[in-house]
């Protein structure tokens, strides 16, 4: 059933396109009621508006807190047009029907995202009248169109232009969207106030209501038979794949996004110029060096076979020298994520090689001073029928946290390399082993069902470079066989959590080979 739109109430916080929208409504004979700042903006643009006070017979009061909470407003919205007694009642009280409500809510999320926001500012941006009007109109969608998103203005105008009203199907869709709008708004307020007044409950609340906004539909998921989409956490500001801007290349795939996240989270670990190359979420190359170009070259050297077709992440803007190294002969990469690209570097990356036209370049904000926001500080894993929620693994190991377990103590240089390897192994799938030297990943063993096989894989990849290198293990060694494989390959220092019932056997093995071994007391499982 079509509902003719003769009277609309417009009161929006997001004024994107509202002037143009309302002008078109007015051309189609729609009477406009408006409030506060919206009424002012429309009037200044030459739109004839009826002030809300003229409808209610009361002035806007209490600094605007009370203006639409009135029977003249909600009676006009909620009256069931199919019930004669409803229509008789509003007529007796001089209430005119309102056929469309155009409302979106105070910018609470933007307000509380400000670093200097006060509780008073936050509370003042808790909308009361807006959600009430939205919910009233959404409830009565059989007779009223509710519009909360400027993106829907063209659809509404098109339908009104064709029939003078908004179709039943569109009203129903807009109603569902409106409830999602108010629900998300209440969720943001709940999160803010819980963190403010009940932080012990905010960390792991009794119930979790997850809210994410769609960024884009994806061609498919991990495999072509799986449908997929990418969603972003509202209000997130941390530099990440979710906040990145794609500058060029093909559309991102599900696996691209997952790998880009893995790569970028790894390079975030380092203060100096660093590059990570990821294949199937595991680092096949990683290096921190004096220059970004050198870091890339050494990262690629770790496993040039696996690096082909990989994902590249940088914690510095990509300069010309690095772009030239990336596009060296016999190379190919799917995507690069970095906090910027030098203007001269972009054509090198996108034009020098045939594959450059499809190369996805993603730009993130500067990482300086970036702090994880509340929800991003939690890690969520889906299981069938539920989710697992845990603190994000942002454990920062310091040299003073290390406990020397062997007769030989690591040198300062070895400690530096052990800490580098420890940062890398945190991002390798368990069971995880990393061999490194000179701030360069040399070999990695990932995702094996036993730890000794992970050591063997890392040793095989490192080859002769394992001599004099260090080894990191994400969890303790349950037997001495893993360290023995490393010792035979020439590894001189090991970092591991410790805590096995066979620690003494492992320590004895390390002492036998003169290896310096330190315990961290923390592990980095990544399943």
Q: What is the DSSP letter of 118?
A: -
Q: Is 250 a catalytic residue?
A: no
Predicted confidence at residue 204, as pLDDT, reads 79
Start-end of H helices in 302-392: 304-307, 320-326, 345-351
Q: Is 139 a catalytic residue?
A: yes
- 445: β partners: 433
- Residues 125 and 254 grouped into a single domain: no
Residues 6 or more apart whose CB falls under 8 angstroms from that of 60 comprise: 35, 36, 52, 53, 66, 67
Q: Which of 139, 177, 250, 378 is catalytic?
A: 139
Q: Residue 343 is part of a domain; what is its CATH number? A: 3.40.140.20
> What is the Cα Rg of the chain in Å?
30
Task: Select from 137, 164, 197 the last residue of a domain.
Answer: 197
- Residues 187 and 283 grouped into a single domain: no
Q: Which sign, positive or negative, has the C-alpha torsion 55, 59, 63, 69?
A: negative
Domain count for the chain:
3
- Residues 340 and 406 grouped into a single domain: no
Closest to 11 in 3D by CA, of 79, 73, 78 = 73
DSSP reduced 3-state for 285: strand
- Residues 357 and 415 grouped into a single domain: no
- Residues 348 and 405 grouped into a single domain: no
- Residues 410 and 356 grouped into a single domain: no
- Residues 304 and 428 grouped into a single domain: no
- Residues 98 and 147 grouped into a single domain: yes
Query: Which residues in 112-127 are b (16+ Cβ under 10 Å) and which e?
Result: beeeeeeeeebeebbb
d(CA 433, CA 260): 21
Give a yes or no: residue 403 inside a domain. Answer: yes
Give a yes or no: residue 387 inside a domain. Answer: no
- Residues 301 and 165 grouped into a single domain: no
DSSP reduced 3-state for 471: strand
User: Which H helix or E strand runs over 74?
Assistant: helix 71-78
DSSP 88-129: HHHHHTTPPP--EEEEE---HHHHHHSTT--HHHHHHT--SH
Give a yes or no: residue 295 inside a domain. Answer: yes
481, 485, 490, 492: CA torsion to nearest 10: -30
Owning domain of residue 279: 243-363
Predicted confidence at residue 265, as pLDDT, reads 94
- Residues 355 and 409 grouped into a single domain: no
237: its two tokens = 């500001």
Beta-carbon neighbour count of residue 192 at 10 Å? 23
Predicted confidence at residue 523, as pLDDT, reads 94
Predicted confidence at residue 368, as pLDDT, reads 55
98, 99, 102, 103: CA torsion to nearest 10: 50
- Residues 23 and 154 grouped into a single domain: yes
Phi, psi torsion values for 23, nearest 5 degrees:
-60, -40
List the chain pLDDT tens, one digit each, 527 residues. 567 888 888 888 888 888 898 888 888 888 888 887 888 888 888 888 877 777 766 766 676 666 676 777 778 888 887 878 887 887 778 788 888 899 887 677 777 777 787 887 777 777 777 788 898 889 888 888 899 999 999 998 888 888 888 888 999 999 999 988 888 888 888 877 877 787 766 677 777 778 788 999 999 999 999 999 999 987 788 899 999 999 999 999 999 999 999 999 999 999 999 999 999 999 999 999 999 999 999 999 999 999 999 999 999 999 999 999 999 999 999 999 999 999 999 999 999 999 999 999 999 987 655 555 445 578 899 999 999 989 889 888 999 999 999 999 999 999 999 999 999 999 999 999 999 999 999 999 999 999 999 999 999 999 999 999 999 999 999 999 999 999 999 999 999 999 999 999 999 999 999 999 999 999 999 99
Give the global pTM. 0.80
Give a yes or no: residue 379 inside a domain. Answer: no
Residues 6 or more apart whose CB falls under 8 angstroms from that of 311 comprise: 256, 259, 260, 262, 263, 277, 278, 279, 333, 334, 335, 336, 337
Distance of CA 117 to the CA centre of its chain: 22
Give a yes or no: residue 283 inside a domain. Answer: yes
| CB-CB contact of 457 with 444 (8 Å) | yes
- Residues 343 and 462 grouped into a single domain: no
Give a yes or no: residue 255 inside a domain. Answer: yes
Predicted confidence at residue 370, as pLDDT, reads 54
Closest to 337 in 3D by CA, of 357, 312, 356, 355 = 312
Give a yes or no: residue 450 inside a domain. Answer: yes
DSSP reduced 3-state for 434: strand
| CB-CB contact of 367 with 344 (8 Å) | no
């Amino acid at each position: 059933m079509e509902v003719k739109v003769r009277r609309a109430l417009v009161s929006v916080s997001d004024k994107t396109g509202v002037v143009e929208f309302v002008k078109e409504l007015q051309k189609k004979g729609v009477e406009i009621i408006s409030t506060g700042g919206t009424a002012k903006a429309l009037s200044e643009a030459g739109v004839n508006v009826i002030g809300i006070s003229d409808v209610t017979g009361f002035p806007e009061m209490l600094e605007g807190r009370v203006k639409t909470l009135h029977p003249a407003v909600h009676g006009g919205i909620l009256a069931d047009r199919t019930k004669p007694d409803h229509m008789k009642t509003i007529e007796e009280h001089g209430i005119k029907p309102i056929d469309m409500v155009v409302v979106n809510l105070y910018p609470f999320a933007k307000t509380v995202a400000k670093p200097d926001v006060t509780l008073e500012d936050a509370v003042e941006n808790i909308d009361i009248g807006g959600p009430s009007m939205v919910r009233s109109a959404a409830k009565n969608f059989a007779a009223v169109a509710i519009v909360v998103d400027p993106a829907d203005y063209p659809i509404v105008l098109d339908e009104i232009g064709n029939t003078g009203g908004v179709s039943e199907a569109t009203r129903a869709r807009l109603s569902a969207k409106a409830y999602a709008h108010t629900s998300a708004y209440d969720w943001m307020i709940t999160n803010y106030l819980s963190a403010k007044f009940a932080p012990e409950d905010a960390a792991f609340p009794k119930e979790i209501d997850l809210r994410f906004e769609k960024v884009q539909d994806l061609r498919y998921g991990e495999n072509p038979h799986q449908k997929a989409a990418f969603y972003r956490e509202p209000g997130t500001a941390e530099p990440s794949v979710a906040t990145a801007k794609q500058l060029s290349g093909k559309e991102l795939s599900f696996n691209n996004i997952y790998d880009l996240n893995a790569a970028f989270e790894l390079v975030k670990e380092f203060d100096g110029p660093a590059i990570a190359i990821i294949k199937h979420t595991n680092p096949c190359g990683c290096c921190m060096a004096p220059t970004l170009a050198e870091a890339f070259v050494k990262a690629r050297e770790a496993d040039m076979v696996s690096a082909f077709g990989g994902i590249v992440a940088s914690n510095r803007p990509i300069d010309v020298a690095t772009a030239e190294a990336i596009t060296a002969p016999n190379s190919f990469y799917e995507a690069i994520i970095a906090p910027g690209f030098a203007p001269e570097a972009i054509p090198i990356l996108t034009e020098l090689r045939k594959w450059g036209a499809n190369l996805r370049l993603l730009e993130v904000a500067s990482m300086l001073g970036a702090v994880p926001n509340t929800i991003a500080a939690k890690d969520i894993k889906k299981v069938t029928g539920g989710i697992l929620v845990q603190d994000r693994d942002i454990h920062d190991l310091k040299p003073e946290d290390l406990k020397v377990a062997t007769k030989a103590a690591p040198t300062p240089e070895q400690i530096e390399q052990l800490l580098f390897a420890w940062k890398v192994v945190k991002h390798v799938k368990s069971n995880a082993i990393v061999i490194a030297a000179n701030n360069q990943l040399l070999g990695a063993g990932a995702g094996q069902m036993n730890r000794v096989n992970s050591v063997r894989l890392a040793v095989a990849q490192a080859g002769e470079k394992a001599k004099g290198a260090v080894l990191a293990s994400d969890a303790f060694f349950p037997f001495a066989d893993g360290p023995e494989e490393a010792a035979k390959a020439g590894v001189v220092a090991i970092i591991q959590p410790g805590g096995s019932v066979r620690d003494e056997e492992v320590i004895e093995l390390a002492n036998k080979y003169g290896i310096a071994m330190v315990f961290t007391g923390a592990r980095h499982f990544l399943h």
